[in-house]
A and B are shown apart, each in its own frame.
Chain A
Amino acid sequence: MTKRLTLLPGIALIGMLFLIPVGIVFQQGLFDPVFTTEHFVRFATRGAYMRIFWSTLQISTVVALVCLLVGYPIAYFIVRQPPARRPFLMFLVLVPMWMSILARTYSWMVVLGKEGIINQSLIWLGLIDEPIKMLFTTGAVYVAMVQIMLPILIVTCFSSMTEIDQSLLRAARIMGASPRKAFREVFLPLSAEGAITGTLIVFILSMGFFIVPALLGGRRDAMLANVISGQVSQTNWGFAAAISIVLLGATLLVLVLVRGASAKLVHHQEEAH
């Protein structure tokens, strides 16, 4: 019983900082002042909102998958290095995370802009005559989001990979597996759990992204968080709350679906208990 009591401060903290705000959001979205689905109907029937909803899902999915495709091999490369060299490589991966997302987003403006580093270099090299439009495009949003999220995925993958016992790979080899087979049969399944977790984290964070699309994207690259912010600044609390609920629901749904699917694909060690 005393064990339970020591949990109380934690529960109180979660209640105050998480449950109450979420409760207020739900209350705002569903009552105006009596129960209504008006905000949700508005969201679902206006083409523009639904388009932004789908594009938010699409951007988040693509960013998460690109991070996985780029980050997993990087993490694998680092794990394969001699242990003495790994901390330095991980340090390099983590350095960008010390900068605020805002600062990094502004840096991308400097890099991608009309007078930015890339355009200047290409013109100087004589490869192009006119600057290419890179800033305020969907591409810019993707590039910056992937750059910002990549360390998160690498760290998650790396930590799950370092837990894989190297003698398992040796065992696979001595039993007749080529390096590629050993990777497929042993390393991949054992690192999949971490990779999926990392990908989901990137997806969840991407779903709520706000600064990058606002500063680097074009007018049609707004994401749901930008719409919410717009509605809040117009004091449309109810509608803003409703969009937040949709965002939360969609994120949770994807989370549950992916976890369910991966539990079937990946064998869990714990299964046997």
Chain B
Amino acid sequence: MQGSRVHFEKVTKSFGETVALTDFNLDIAPGEFVTLLGASGSGKSTALNILAGFSDATSGEVYTGDRPLTGVAPEHRNVGMVFQNFALFPHKTVAENVAFPLRMRKGARDEIDRRVKAALEMVQLGAFAARKPAALSGGQRQRVALARAVVFEPPVLLMDECLSALDLKLREELQDEIRRIHREIGTTVLFVTHDQTEALTMSDRIAILEGGKIVQIDAPEVLYDRPRTRFVADFIGQSNMFDLSAVTDGTAAVPDMGIDIPVSDPTAVAISIRPERLRVIPGENTSGLSVFQGVVEDETFFGPVVAQTVRLRSGRRLEVRSQRSGHDRLPHTGQTITLAFDPADAAPLVAT
């Protein structure tokens, strides 16, 4: 099966005074796995519901393939969906639940049976066909919901925070399973979560939503290494952010560090440095690195990694993560240390 392209074009949605989506543009390639990541209330479900046909955009258009969807009822959109609370029919057995979309499409009886069986096998629930959803565990229900959403081979699959109700171990298991199924059936997936780890591990690209707007959309590693705004830098992983003076001739001052660094983006107003990109240096070769000093204030031991809070002369605090390799001893609380980073590891941030 082939996934189809999904395209949101200048979509807006308001509920009375509340603006849920503004200028929402998203172009998803066929077969791509894209995640909408954002805090609660950022408009993730609103975007999915407009694509599913449960609510109409205030303006703008959504396409699957080349087909505009305005005015198309949900049942004619040929989109699969996994709901947050699974939404399994409690009065139907597992097999009847999975057969539902096929029955609605008026398939032949034995063809339906065959595909239901295959779908249940795919999620390792072949033995549970005759059970009612109430007799399943949370993880099993999730698998049934997944089987039901893909059994009719929809070119587009939507998932709305469908793993957030499960405990961590189960969630990781199902993340792997969803990835595997995505590879097997090749459908286009639009996945919604507020969990950054989930987004980072699963997605081809992640769209970060803030207040109904996509503030950045990129591959996970780009998003992590090169956040474009304070919001993204803060939302994905941990980050140390420093204000910059105006960038002139590719250089800007970092007042908190008391140094100048090269900055590629002339519109940058701040930089973001991940804690693990800062190095504590006892006096090794510092050529090409930006070097400054601070006092270790606190440290947390994680085994192979130590996290230290360092206070700079300006009073600003920052976070450093160091690998403990070999016998080298890390400086202790109260000690003044020298920190260095490669300016290339400092992501320039623009004002919103």
Find the A residue at minimum CB distance from B160: A167
- A165 to B86: give the CA distance in the assembly, Å: 11
- A266 to B92: give the CA distance in the assembly, Å: 11
- A93 to B52: give the CA distance in the assembly, Å: 35
Q: Is the CB of A174 within 8 A of B91?
A: no
Would you call A177 an interface residue if the criterion is a C-beta within 8 Å of the partner chain's C-beta atoms? Answer: yes
With known contacts A267-B91, A269-B132, A269-B134, A173–B85 Cβ distance under 8 A: no
Would you call A170 an interface residue if the criterion is a C-beta within 8 Å of the partner chain's C-beta atoms? Answer: yes
**Residues of chain A contacted by B105 (CB below 8 angstroms):** 176
Would you call A129 an interface residue if the criterion is a C-beta within 8 Å of the partner chain's C-beta atoms? Answer: no
Would you call B53 an interface residue if the criterion is a C-beta within 8 Å of the partner chain's C-beta atoms? Answer: yes
Is the contact region of chain B dominated by helix, strand, or loop, or is it mixed?
loop
**Residues of chain A contacted by B79 (CB below 8 angstroms):** 174
Would you call B67 an interface residue if the criterion is a C-beta within 8 Å of the partner chain's C-beta atoms? Answer: no
Would you call B19 an interface residue if the criterion is a C-beta within 8 Å of the partner chain's C-beta atoms? Answer: no
Q: Which of B69-77, B225-233, B266-274 contacts A (4 or more CB under 8 A)?
A: B69-77
Q: Is the CB of B85 within 8 A of A190?
A: no
Q: Mark contacts of B63-99 with chain A using CB atoms, 8 A cut-off: 1 yes-contact digit, 0 otherwise.
A: 0000000000111010111011101011110000000
Number of B interface residues in the complex (CB < 8 A): 29
Number of A interface residues in the complex (CB < 8 A): 25
List residues of A (1-22) whose CB comes within 8 Å of B's CBs. none
Q: Is the CB of B53 within 8 A of A175?
A: no
Q: Is the CB of B52 within 8 A of A174?
A: yes
List residues of A (231-273) whose CB comes within 8 Å of B's CBs. 266-273
Q: Is the CB of B54 within 8 A of A269?
A: no
Q: Mark contacts of A180-205 with chain B using CB atoms, 8 A cut-off: 1 yes-contact digit, 0 otherwise.
A: 01000110011000000000000000
- A268 to B104: give the CA distance in the assembly, Å: 23
- A100 → chain B, closest Cβ, in Å? 40
Q: Is the CB of A174 within 8 A of B77?
A: yes
- A273 to B89: give the CA distance in the assembly, Å: 15
Q: Is the CB of A177 within 8 A of B91?
A: no
With known contacts A176-B105, A190-B91, A170–B135 Cβ distance under 8 A: no
Q: Is the CB of B91 within 8 A of A178?
A: no
- A186 to B83: give the CA distance in the assembly, Å: 16
**Residues of chain A contacted by B87 (CB below 8 angstroms):** 165, 167-168, 170-171
Would you call B101 an interface residue if the criterion is a C-beta within 8 Å of the partner chain's C-beta atoms? Answer: yes
With known contacts A186-B89, A190-B90, A272–B74 Cβ distance under 8 A: no
Would you call B100 an interface residue if the criterion is a C-beta within 8 Å of the partner chain's C-beta atoms? Answer: yes
One of A165, A167, A174 near B75 (C-beta < 8 A): A174
- A178 to B106: give the CA distance in the assembly, Å: 13
Find the B residue at minimum CB distance from A190: B91
Q: Is the CB of A271 within 8 A of B132?
A: yes
- B249 → chain A, closest Cβ, in Å? 56
**Residues of chain B contacted by A173 (CB below 8 angstroms):** 53-54, 73-75
Would you call A172 an interface residue if the criterion is a C-beta within 8 Å of the partner chain's C-beta atoms? Answer: yes
One of A172, A181, A189, A272 near B134 (C-beta < 8 A): A272
Most chain B CB within a 10 A radius of its CB, from A165, A176, A267, A270: A176
Q: Is the CB of A267 within 8 A of B74?
A: no
Would you call B242 an interface residue if the criterion is a C-beta within 8 Å of the partner chain's C-beta atoms? Answer: no
Q: Is the CB of B104 within 8 A of A175?
A: yes
Would you call B148 an interface residue if the criterion is a C-beta within 8 Å of the partner chain's C-beta atoms? Answer: yes
**Residues of chain A contacted by B81 (CB below 8 angstroms):** 171, 174
Find the B residue at minimum CB distance from A271: B132
Find the A residue at minimum CB distance from B96: A267
- A267 to B87: give the CA distance in the assembly, Å: 17
- B157 → chain A, closest Cβ, in Å? 11
**Residues of chain B contacted by A165 (CB below 8 angstroms):** 85, 87
Q: Is the CB of A272 within 8 A of B131?
A: yes
- B293 → chain A, closest Cβ, in Å? 56
**Residues of chain B contacted by A273 (CB below 8 angstroms):** 134-135
Would you call B33 an interface residue if the criterion is a C-beta within 8 Å of the partner chain's C-beta atoms? Answer: no
Given contacts A167-B85, A174-B75, 20 further A-B pairs with CB under 8 A are: A167-B84, A168-B89, A171-B81, A171-B89, A173-B73, A173-B75, A174-B54, A175-B80, A175-B104, A175-B152, A176-B75, A176-B104, A176-B105, A176-B152, A177-B104, A181-B104, A186-B89, A189-B91, A267-B91, A271-B132
Give me the 5 closest cross-chain CB pairs, A-B, nearest first.
A272-B132, A176-B104, A175-B101, A171-B87, A272-B135
Could you give 10 example pairs across A and B, Cβ below 8 Å? A165-B85, A173-B74, A175-B75, A175-B80, A175-B104, A176-B101, A176-B152, A269-B90, A269-B91, A269-B132
Which A residues are within 8 Å of any B CB, using their own CB? Answer: 165, 167-168, 170-178, 181, 185-186, 189-190, 266-273
